[in-house]
Chains A and B, each alone.
Chain A
């Protein structure tokens, strides 16, 4: 016999799924939303996205190469996903230098400090976003009005997001029914015709990506469904209790970052729980905290904070919430 035989232990076949394929799948799922964003925001969307993705990948490379002196893992695609999601969480006219700073915080502080992929407790893109929101509140809340390529990157017409309009109006004592005339219709909201972070606006496009990720088995339904479910239940209760003081649940769902957050940010593998039971509790926590911040808090939108808060509970949940062991109930019975 000429060749030596390999005698590794079982299993001798592998499922062909790889980290890179999963990350590529997320990127593919984000393409419809990116296309919608470019359609509504023109050059701004393109410039912010390219800057964020390139700087995230570059910072990961530089840190691994010169600081950690470890193997370079930028080809796994996780930095690309972080960059894309960071861009999706920024206004489309956000200054390029600040995008680069946000990427440094996302990759450098939130990811590599903890040991790189798989070790970070908080969602890197959201840490980047929240850092920007606190440090540069003016730039982070200057939202261009959708106008496609008709205006340039720097001179976009800006306006408030529908959520901010409603929040300010209710605070000023106006009736919700009157405020609804000042914001786009529900159908327009569904397609994404509104001001907001560049990736969060187009509900239809985000849902297409969701379907793709479910079919490709990149994520399971548990987190998105529990986030959206608890969110809808809570907003419905508030709406039914005081319809003139609270926007309707559908309005809440179609505005702000709830869909982007529920489908793409809360489901981040590294920072979400490891079993279905814990995933549902985690998802409900995000949904409820989001509504609390939106309705009772200082910010018009609270998805980012809600996800980061629940991220902090994930290690605890993984320790104390266990999947159903086979043969368990029989043993106890």
Chain B
């Protein structure tokens, strides 16, 4: 029996049609637009001016506070302007526009192909390098990695969990990375283990990627303390709390962190970025993005610099199909629909999904038949039908006692609802208001 989390979850069609498409490097665009907030936490402070010449890997915005991240230029060229843009979330934020010329990297980056295995840095030095290199969680949440590597006193990390689940349908970026850069990923895991002072690391991979499981298992025999664990395919297994439950059978309590149950979770993409940052001095300014959709002529996995407009990715995958009705940054379950194709690629963008018009709308909402399918689907044991009604009626206090803030917005409830009710939409709305209420209460 393969491991999985016990309660809730759904199994959407996998549609992993780019699973066999090797990672291709995307050619550089004429201009990149690099937002200063590509992570959770405070936006970085811009330290370049219009007209400055920059090189790839050079810091252009510095982290502001502990929970923040450095932003680096992904290309060499000239800063043409610093202006507001609409990002993937639909909000406005500051971004640095750089006109590309050539491809010069800062001198400290080791651009050779050679794989460096030996790590002789202290945990503090590793964490420092991650901070300098602007490493954030690449699974999608983009939480600054150096924060997760800093274990507060009194807490202990017993085991490191590496997330190679990639449970979102369509996406294959992590899958390809594990297959093509497996050794680097495992060195990255070793570095993370060293930083956290743990002896063991579990890599969880869903069983729909048997080649990645076999490949990493073979490589892992050459690394101390790393084991590979095949998991039953079930969404949302890539969610931190669900993965911890599946692998070490511990439940992270409501409002607490994985460290409270003795573990830390990092994504395989992050492990690779950590390898590059620590062993090659390379800051995080490019990542693998799956560009996919049933109507695309050549969907694939692309290594792309941050700040590249997504229109370039779509062009590389064969151009925008005639009947495209929705473009999703990320996977279909939790990704965000973007409203134009000039949105830049950011650190947290794992995929770009083009949905045809007929799949981009929604069916109308019908009366709730109280079938309880949303309750069975919720991986957190919440009652989505109830939370939706409470949010709809404005009963926020009751919603809070029903733990609306536990919701991680995985979308399993809306996915499964036979009456196509907008469950998650209302829960998200209610959750936002409840969090605001709680914050105001704490200020008093």
On A, residues with C-beta under 8 Å from B are: 1, 3, 5-15, 17-19, 21-22, 73, 76, 78, 116-119, 220, 269-270, 272-276, 279, 318, 322-331
Contact = CB atoms under 8 A, between A and B. Distances in A.
B325 A10 contact: no
Contact of B337 (A12, A269, A326): A12
Interface of B: 7, 10, 12-13, 90, 169, 241, 245, 250-254, 256, 261, 320, 323-328, 332-341, 353, 355, 357, 359-363, 366-373, 375-376, 378-383, 385-386, 403, 406, 409, 411, 414-420, 424-425, 428
Contacts of A19: 366, 369, 418-419
A1 B338 CA distance: 14
B353 A3 contact: no
A12 B366 CA distance: 18
A116 B367 contact: yes
B309 to A, nearest CB: 13
Contacts of A276: 376
Contacts, number: 172
B372 A269 contact: yes
Given A5-B339, A330-B251, A12 B381 contact: no
Contacts of A78: 369
Contacts of A322: 383
A8 B337 contact: yes
Nearest to B378: A323
Contact of A5 (B250, B340, B366, B419): B340
Nearest to A218: B371
A35 B375 CA distance: 35
A220 B375 CA distance: 12
B424 A5 contact: no
B297 to A, nearest CB: 18
B241 A326 contact: yes
A227 B382 CA distance: 25
A94 B15 CA distance: 53
Given A10-B336, A11-B424, A119 B367 contact: yes
A253 to B, nearest CB: 26
6 tightest Cβ-Cβ pairs between the two chains A and B: A11-B411, A118-B367, A331-B253, A327-B253, A326-B380, A325-B381
A143 B323 CA distance: 61
Contacts of A6: 325-326, 337, 360-361
B353 A274 contact: no
Contacts of A12: 326, 328, 332-333, 335, 337, 353, 355, 359-360
Contacts of B371: 22, 269
A90 B12 CA distance: 42
Could you say which of A5, A73, A275 has the most chain B C-beta atoms within 10 Å of its C-beta?
A: A5
Given A10-B424, A19-B366, 10 more contacts: A6-B361, A7-B90, A7-B339, A9-B424, A10-B336, A13-B415, A270-B369, A274-B372, A327-B256, A328-B253
Contacts of A76: 366
B261 A330 contact: yes
B355 A274 contact: no
B334 A118 contact: no
A13 B256 CA distance: 30
17 contacts: A1-B320, A8-B337, A10-B336, A11-B424, A12-B360, A14-B363, A17-B418, A19-B366, A19-B419, A78-B369, A220-B376, A274-B385, A274-B386, A318-B386, A322-B383, A327-B254, A328-B251
A269 B369 contact: yes
B341 A274 contact: no
A126 to B, nearest CB: 16
Contact of B375 (A13, A73, A275): A275
Contacts of B359: 12-13
Given A17-B416, A275-B372, A327-B252, A10 B334 contact: yes
